[in-house]
Amino acid sequence: MSTESQPLYGGWRRSKSMGIATLNTSQTVIFVAATLAPLMIIIVGGPLATLTFTIPLALGVITLTVWQRHGMPLMSYVIGRARWSLANLRGETSYRSVFLPAPAALDLPGMVAPTKLIRAESSDGRGATGLVWNQRTGTMTATLLLNPAGSLLASGTTVKSQVSAWGDALARLADEEAVQMAAVTLQITPSSGAALSDHVRGRLDPAAPELARQAIGELVSRAPRASAQLAAWMSLVIDPSSAPEKPKGPAEAAAVTLGALDAVDLSGAGVDVLRRATDIDIKRLVRGGFCPADMDAPAAEIEELVWHEVGPVSAEDGWTVYQHDGHHSVSWVLREAPRKAVTYDVLLKLLAPGAYMRRVTLVYRVLPTEEAQAVVEREINASDAREQYRQRTKRTSTRRERVDAAYADRTAGEEALGAGMVQWSIYVTTTVDNEADLPAARREIEKAARSSGGLRFRPAFGGQSAAMVVGLPVGINPLL
C-alpha cells in the first residue's frame, strides 16, 4: 500500500499553562521570585548582601528553572535526584519480602503494595473476573484480553475506519463517570519456538501429501529464528465512588466495575476481545512482568500463587534500572509526541519483536465534557497571554510557537463541535535476565523509538519501578 493512500494523523500538543515564553505557571513564579529577590534584599539588607549571596543564588535558581534536560526543567531533575538519593539512603528503594514484618511481608513492592486481587463472579454466566482493588485509593481495575488484528495489508479505508472506531470507543468512556483511565498494553516476548514446533508436529496428519508435510516441516524448522509471543490487554481503572449511586462495600464496587467493563465496545477497531481476564490471567500477566519466563508456566502453578507471590522476593529501585529477582528492567516515558502528521503504523518499529522482552503501554484519560471545555479555555487563554507578552516585549514569535497556537485553536474548534479530549502517554519497558545485556537492550529500544515517526522518550529517572508497573494490569494511574 502506498504512503499516499494512507490517512495521516497529528496535531498532538503538550498541555501548557500560562507563563513567560516557554515557561509554565510554576516555573514563571519561581523565575519572577528569583528575579525580584535581589531587589528586596537591597531594600532590607543593603547592596553588599545582594552581591555576596543573593545574586549568585538567584542566578542559580533561574538557571535551574529555565535550562532543560531530557525535556524537563533542570530543577525538576535535580529535585527528583535529591529525593531519590534521600530515599536510597533510608533504604526505601530496597524490597526484601522475607525480612518484612507481617502484614507487610504479604504486600507487593512499591506502588502496588496496597493492591489486592479479588475474584468477582458475574450473574450473567460469564464466569469469574479478576479485579485488582487498590485499598488506598478505592479504585478497582478490570482487564480485557485482546487479540489484535494486523493492518499492514489493509486498505486506507479500512485503517481509517478502524482508527475512527477506536476514537469512538475512547469517546464513549467520557460518558462513564467512574472510568478514571484506560490502558492498552502489548508485551512482546522472544520465544525459542519450541512450543510452536510441538503444537504443529503433534497435529500432522500421517495421510497428508508428502509435499504438504515437507512445507510444514520447513516452516516449523525456521519458525524458532523469528518466533515471539504476543500478549495484549486493555485495563480500565474504575473509581466506584464516582458512580451516580455510590457503592456501600467492595461487593457493590465490584458490580460497578463490571458494569463499566461492559460499556467497552471495541468492535470495528481492529481488535478482538478474547474474554474478561480472570484472576488467574492477571496473576500470569503480573508474574510474567517480573519474570518473563513464567508467562508460559502451567495454569496449575499460576493458580496456586497467592497475590504477593506474583511479585519479586527482592527488588532494587535504581535511578535508571529496576532489579527484581535476578532480572533487570529499564523503562522510558514519552517526552514528546510527533510534531508532524504520521501514518497509522507509527508504532510499528516499537512493537516489532526484538532480541529482548519489551512491553509498550498506551495510557488514556478521557476528559469529561465539562473538564474538556475548561482545559480548552485554559489552553487558549495561556496561548493568548503568551502572545500579549511577546507583543509587549516586541519579540517575534517562532514558527513552533505559531504552529502550537494554531493547534490550540483547532483543538478548541473541534471540542466546540462535540469532539472528545484525551490525555495520553506511552510507557516502554524492556527486561533482560543478564545485566550484561542491558546496553544492547537499551540500544534496541532507543533505535526503535527513533524510527517511530518523531516520538521522543526519556528514561524514567528515579521512577523505574513505578513506570514498569504502569504496564501491568494493577491499576496504577500516572495521569492523575
Confirm if 423 and 303 have CB atoms less than 8 A apart. no
CA distance 346 to 451: 8
Cell numbers placing 43? 531594600
Q: Provide the pLDDT for residue 20.
A: 59
CA distance 132 to 119: 9
Confirm if 105 and 95 have CB atoms less than 8 A apart. no
Please choose, from the candidates 399, 410, 449, 419, the residue with its C-alpha nearest in 3D space to the C-alpha of residue 11.
410
Instruction: Please write the tens of the pLDDT for every residue from 75-103.
Output: 778 888 899 999 999 989 999 887 777 67
CA distance 452 to 272: 25
Beta carbons within 8 Å of 16's beta carbon, 6+ residues apart: 24, 379, 382, 383, 404
Give the mean model confidence (pLDDT) for residues 237-243.
89
Residue 135: count other Cβ atoms within 10 Å of its Cβ.
11
Instruction: Please write the tens of the pLDDT for every residue from 290-334.
Output: 998 888 888 899 999 999 999 999 999 999 999 999 999 999 999
Confirm if 360 and 428 have CB atoms less than 8 A apart. yes
pLDDT higher than threshold 70 for residue 449: yes
Instruction: Please write the tens of the pLDDT for every residue from 345-379.
Output: 889 889 888 889 999 999 999 887 777 777 777 77
Residue 392: count other Cβ atoms within 10 Å of its Cβ.
8
Confirm if 246 and 240 have CB atoms less than 8 A apart. yes
Letter for the amino acid at 407? Y
Length of the chain: 480
Domain segments of the chain as ranges: 100-191+227-367+420-470, 192-226
